[in-house]
Structure 1
Amino acid sequence: MESRSLPMAAATSMSVAIAIVFLIYTAAPLGDAASVEHTFIVNQTKMTRLCKETQVTVVNGQLPGPTIEITEGDTVTVHVINRSPYNMTIHWHGVKQFRNCWADGVPMLTQCPILPNKNFTYQFNVVGQEGTLWWHAHVPGLRATVHGAFIIRPRHGAESYPFPQPHKEIPVIIGDWWEKDLAEMARNMTKSIFLSYASASTINGLVGDLFNCSGVPKEGYVLDVEPGKTYLLRIINAGLFSEFYLKIAGHKFTVVAADANYVSPFTTDVIAIAAGETVDALLLADAPPGRYYMVALPNQAPLPDTQTPEYTTRGMVRYKVSHSAGNGTTILRSSRGAEEEQGGYSSGDAPMVPKMPDIHDTITSFYFHSNLTSLRHHGHSLVQQRVDERLYVVLSLGTICKKGQFCKRGDSDENLLVATMNNASFQHPTAIPTLLEAHYYHTGLINGTTQELPKRPPLLFNFTDEALIPFGPKEMRLEPTYKATLVRRFRHGAVVEIVFQSTAMLQGDSNPMHLHGHNMLVLAEGLGNYDPVKDVARYNLVNPPVKNTVLAPNRGWIAVRFVANNPGVWFMHCHYEFHLSMGMAAVFIVEDGPTVDTSLLPPPVNFPTCSHDNSLIQTI
């Protein structure tokens, strides 16, 4: 059994350390699979990025948190020790958790949250997947700092990659730096109070030299490369609110995978990556030795959409050059001028800066995502030709009266702004037991406390009409909505097709939709309103990309298909934090199949239980 655990925070007591050692060496692996083991201590620590010491919630004192590296087929065991003041769960984003929904990490849907000063051990197998995924807290706001990479390597090693074996593999995590209280920010969003925004963007936890304190540029991420070598960048967007464009001056990327699924390789100078997505890209160090900025720019919908603070950040790609030591050996040193060695830069040694897309350029994202196709194996199509159930899911905003049935609409403090799917806003359950337990034990609770997600919107209109973005008479009649715990049931093995339609209702933003427990085939995407007659002809039924997070473009649509073959209770939601907290979510329940091997496993023996006095604070 392989055991890995990163160093604990310095403040951890000796008694906790002894408990951790006991947990690590007494947990048994599942079956004959190799075991990779980690201990996550979630606590609060003070960090400084923008001249201000900020208390942040992190794992093992790190930002980003520990990288989990496994081989396909391994068993993963993670002991989570919650020393933070918040309820906590960890979601293994993109890991299918086949028949093991108990480890999916969604509070009150699949498990009771890990309360402060409590522990819980996640254990699961990773079979039939390889590539870059990630893990993060599934509590409001806190995934901004509680997250890390989850890397699955092929069973036969890097030489079995369907692309040239890279010299090194580098996680590149794009995120946010917040000086605000993230839990308070999330609570405010559920009350239509939008007062908090990130203070900076980050690459691997560093804000970069576009930000300064008292005129001193801040530290940025540096990737040292050797001329002629190829590097596999495992890129993750862990940000709460933004899609990002990533460029490296003087270089191109070869995109080889997305969401831990191989794609037909293509070359590009810009990567578009939405919140929740991962992209694997090869970087060939083929430029003249020097320094080249790596820039991450968040995009946003153009006017008349509401404009929010968005911050570009940058790191550096720095070449190592060879110098002879005079004794027949070669020494690699970073490429820099004499003045840099003394603390400054010469004008001739200035790093090259890439030309970035405009912050309001959403077409570049549309073209990037449209260019993804699956890397086909043996000439077989991945697409199920029959469809058992079709859903047309409209992603929008609306309002609910705070008091009574009637209230003023539009820009009024009498209503609550919510996010919706088919004009219904998700109400996170607080009843005990969890939805997964109620489903497994057939308690009848689900039927008594949930409503069915409608398969189509109650009203058809021009969803992408720009006139719906500002408050006004045209959108006011479309605002009224309601809250409910939305559930949709699927029989085991059903082939489900969903068209996600973004709208212009009070905003014209894109929507990165994440489905737990399954991958989706992206059949087509387009701008404007989906046309069920003409757009079906555009479907890629040969080699569509396979994703766990799909981006419904700004005022556009995306059509996906998946097979409901993983029994359990699975969350489907937008990965923008404000959309999720405001209710753009639903639960997909997949029934058991006809055999033991197609049925949900029983809960683990250490499964946490809830009580009515748990004070379940904001647990989505």
Structure 2
Amino acid sequence: MQKLSTAASLFYAVAVAALATAVIVGGEAAVVEQTFVVHEMNVTHLCNTTKIYVVNGQLPGPTVDVMEGDTVVVHVINRLPHGLTIHWHGVRQMRSCWADGAGFVTECPIPPGGQHTYRFNVTGQVGTLWWHAHVTCLRSTINGAFIIRPRDRKYPFPTPAKDVPIIIGEWWELDLLELDRRMLDGNFDDNPLSATINGKLGDLSNCSGTVEESFILDVKRGESYLLRVINTALFSEYYFKVAGHTFTVVGADGNYLTPYKTDIVTVAPGEAIDVLMVADAPPANYHMIALANQPPEPDLQIPELNSRGLVRYAGAAANNGGLPVAMPVMPNQHNTMPSYYFHANLTGLARPERHRVPMHVDERLFITLGLGSICRAGNTTTCKRGRSPETIVVATMNNVSFHHSNATALLERYYDGTSEGVYTEDFPVRPPRTYNFTNRDLIPPGPLEAALEPTSKATRLRRFKYNTSVEIVFQSTTLLQSDSNPMHLHGYDVFVLAQGLGNFNPKRDVNKFNYHNPQLRNTVQVPRGGWAAVRFLTDNPGMWYLHCHFEFHIIMGMATAFIVEDGPTPETSLPPPPSEFKRCGTNGLSQP
């Protein structure tokens, strides 16, 4: 494929922007239409020119900006040598599962040279979501903000002078397709070279004396700014601070929160956190920092990842009056407790007329999250463990590592009634054995992990009847590592009833459940060495992917899918595929 020059990329951006339209329907809801051209582009950072994959020549990609109740239409033209889908992360997709964009779950990828149109409504959601590629590691650079504004233009907090996406990501020099292949083989020794803020590495990174460009936020003293903080990174949760300033957290994942004051935001991969920042400091320049956290040893260590931007006041001297630019004091990168306290302190903005926690539970699942291993030699289970060359490290839920199809879409097979041999509906509701899930002696060099790490690789799903109340307790484990786990459920928001450290104890911990004003989230950060309890009602029929949002966990199998059956009426049932939907046999990918 011919590589696009910067000029060609800019041409695409301008031409595509001209195609974006908003057709008003009855003076209220609109049809918001955009075109995404996905292509390669060469970018130079840290003295090296790297081929990356982008939309419309932009990194991050274009923002989708709509009002509650609008219909979104996005035409995706794939000019990559690789298939991909676009997932609208956090959009409920009520009765539009066909447009969810989960590769090989709801659709087969758009093939090279192909195109596809996504069409869906955004109803009952206000705030910040995002979109990203959902095949392989491409979401590292193919991503952008998805903003839903209130139709009455009223917020339950002071209206900001401006709102600004703050998209935290990572800069990789390794080709993302090669990164995917390596992680699929159980190799997660590769690391990004830097963190990014809105695609810029920041002046902490330099090469041969050339300082990288920083993201700059221009502000006026006395005005407030809504920062829409999104973590698109493949590997890490991030701490975010601005020197001399505090935040008021007002929303997350397209839902309002009870205002919460803090000087630090922690945002895990997949999460979107809305914060108000008042420019109330003396006019000057102030640094912002995004710093990745990670578990301490004996977990495998990655280089310290951070990026630095700048808040620049109107009227401030160009040289900051000769004074050093203020730096925020950041937590230690191995201290994960600020994340735990940040997430535990968030509560939902009570709206009983719209959001009621189901008080009864029809089905309960207890899901352990960790790593395991399978033997390289076919179906044998008798191989040497302990990260030996005879095994492949995999990620698991209840000791099952999800086998991802690469030739068919699970939703199609479910809808057509042709699932035999493709998947089973026996995802376990609890782990096969009980042990001390947070015992640090399970982290290599152990010595207890070898007996627990053998696992299976299979496509095992769970089916629910329509309108079932489901409670899930996610338990992070220390099996082979002690990472946190940002769990994302497509098609749903879930009530986060509680979280805690250590092993979940139902006799003790149920008393901590918040039924009055819990957070309503699509991505739940299950703390390192801890647990999180969620509850939701299966009111959206279809096939919905559930996975950890660390990319290496997804690729290695920390995933499953939930089938939600049709309800009793057409209005509560999954409709047939829309006319623009391309079945797997018609988009260049054959069914097995």
Displacement of 1:23: 8.7
Structure 1 residues 613 and 103, CA gap change in structure 2 (3 angstroms): closer
Report the residue type matching 1:206 in the other structure: K
Q: In 2, Cα distance between the equivalents of 1:539 and 1:600? A: 32
> Does the aligned pair in 2 maintain the 1:336–1:349 contact within 8 Å?
no
Q: Does 1:452 align with 2:433?
A: no
The residue aligned with 1:386 is 360
Displacement of 1:310: 2.9
Mapping of 1:163-178 within 5 angstroms? 163-178=157-172
Q: In 2, Cα distance between the equivalents of 1:365 and 1:359? A: 11
Q: In 2, Cα distance between the equivalents of 1:230 and 1:306? A: 41
Pick from 213, 216, 223: which aligns with 1:219? 213
Which structure has the greater CA radius of gyration?
Answer: 1
Displacement of 1:438: 1.8
The one-character-per-residue Cα deviations of 1:415-460 (angstroms, maximum 9, x if unpaired) are 110000000000012354x2111222223x1576325210000000
The one-character-per-residue Cα deviations of 1:313-340 (angstroms, maximum 9, x if unpaired) are 110001002xxxxxxxxxxxxx124xx3
Pick from 223, 241, 248: which aligns with 1:254? 248
Displacement of 1:195: 3.7
> Does the aligned pair in 1 maintain the 2:84–2:133 contact within 8 Å?
yes
Q: In 1, Cα distance between the equivalents of 2:527 and 2:177? A: 28
Q: In 2, Cα distance between the equivalents of 1:60 and 1:449? A: 37
Report the residue type matching 2:463 in the other structure: R
Report the residue type matching 1:199 in the other structure: L
* Larger mean Cα displacement after TM superposition, 22-31 or 480-489: 22-31
The residue aligned with 2:571 is 597
Gaps of 5+ in 1: 1-7, 322-334
The one-character-per-residue Cα deviations of 1:72-119 (angstroms, maximum 9, x if unpaired) are 000101000000111110000000000110000012210111000000
Tell me, what secondary structure is at the counterpart of 1:69? strand
The one-character-per-residue Cα deviations of 1:593-613 (angstroms, maximum 9, x if unpaired) are 000100001101121132499
The one-character-per-residue Cα deviations of 1:514-557 (angstroms, maximum 9, x if unpaired) are 00000010001000000011100110111111100001100100
The one-character-per-residue Cα deviations of 1:252-272 (angstroms, maximum 9, x if unpaired) are 000000111111101100001
Gaps of 5+ in 2: none
Mapping of 1:33-182 within 5 angstroms? 33-157=29-153, 160-182=154-176
* Larger mean Cα displacement after TM superposition, 193-202 or 71-80: 193-202
Structure 1 residues 117 and 127, CA gap change in structure 2 (3 angstroms): same
Tell me, what secondary structure is at the counterpart of 1:41? strand
Displacement of 1:51: 1.8
Tell me, what secondary structure is at the counterpart of 1:53? strand
Tell me, what secondary structure is at the counterpart of 1:391? strand
Displacement of 1:377: 2.7
Q: In 1, Cα distance between the equivalents of 2:547 and 2:590? A: 20
Report the residue type matching 1:77 in the other structure: V
The residue aligned with 2:350 is 376
Structure 1 residues 288 and 505, CA gap change in structure 2 (3 angstroms): same
Structure 1 residues 52 and 189, CA gap change in structure 2 (3 angstroms): same
Pick from 390, 410, 415: which aligns with 1:440? 415
Pick from 463, 470, 494: which aligns with 1:489? 463
The one-character-per-residue Cα deviations of 1:259-305 (angstroms, maximum 9, x if unpaired) are 11111101100001000000000000000110100000000011221
The one-character-per-residue Cα deviations of 1:544-601 (angstroms, maximum 9, x if unpaired) are 1110000110010000001111000000000000000000000001000000100001
Query: Under a length normalisation based on structure 1, what TM-score does the superposition of the two structures give?
Result: 0.90
Mapping of 1:384-463 within 5 angstroms? 384-403=358-377, 404-432=380-408, 434-443=409-418, 445-446=419-420, 449-463=423-437
Q: Please tell me the root mean square deviation across aligned C-alpha atoms, in Å.
A: 2.5
Q: In 2, Cα distance between the equivalents of 1:429 and 1:57? A: 23
The residue aligned with 1:366 is 340
> Does the aligned pair in 2 maintain the 1:290–1:349 contact within 8 Å?
no
Report the residue type matching 2:396 in the other structure: T
> Does the aligned pair in 2 maintain the 1:87–1:616 contact within 8 Å?
no
Q: In 1, Cα distance between the equivalents of 2:431 and 2:398? A: 4
The residue aligned with 1:4 is none
Mapping of 1:268-307 within 5 angstroms? 268-307=262-301
The one-character-per-residue Cα deviations of 1:219-249 (angstroms, maximum 9, x if unpaired) are 1000010000000001100111100000000
Displacement of 1:217: 1.7
Structure 1 residues 538 and 220, CA gap change in structure 2 (3 angstroms): same
Tell me, what secondary structure is at the counterpart of 1:11? helix
Report the residue type matching 2:256 in the other structure: Y
Tell me, what secondary structure is at the counterpart of 2:381? coil
Q: In 2, Cα distance between the equivalents of 1:195 and 1:100? A: 38
Q: In 1, Cα distance between the equivalents of 2:211 and 2:84? A: 35
Q: In 1, Cα distance between the equivalents of 2:23 and 2:330? A: 49
Displacement of 1:311: 1.1
> Does the aligned pair in 2 maintain the 1:528–1:557 contact within 8 Å?
yes
> Does the aligned pair in 1 maintain the 2:21–2:33 contact within 8 Å?
no
Q: In 1, Cα distance between the equivalents of 2:138 and 2:52? A: 9
Tell me, what secondary structure is at the counterpart of 2:554? helix
> Does the aligned pair in 2 maintain the 1:296–1:312 contact within 8 Å?
yes
Structure 1 residues 555 and 26, CA gap change in structure 2 (3 angstroms): closer
The residue aligned with 1:467 is 441
Q: In 1, Cα distance between the equivalents of 2:381 and 2:463? A: 30
Report the residue type matching 1:35 in the other structure: V
Aligned pair count reads 585
Q: In 2, Cα distance between the equivalents of 1:202 and 1:18? A: 24
Pick from 606, 609, 617: which aligns with 2:580? 606
Q: In 2, Cα distance between the equivalents of 1:29 and 1:118? A: 30
Identical residues among aligned pairs (%): 54
Q: In 2, Cα distance between the equivalents of 1:13 and 1:204? A: 18
Q: In 1, Cα distance between the equivalents of 2:14 and 2:469? A: 49
Q: In 2, Cα distance between the equivalents of 1:402 and 1:237? A: 34
Report the residue type matching 1:350 in the other structure: P
> Does the aligned pair in 2 maintain the 1:245–1:273 contact within 8 Å?
yes
Displacement of 1:33: 3.6
> Does the aligned pair in 2 maintain the 1:430–1:616 contact within 8 Å?
no
Structure 1 residues 483 and 616, CA gap change in structure 2 (3 angstroms): farther
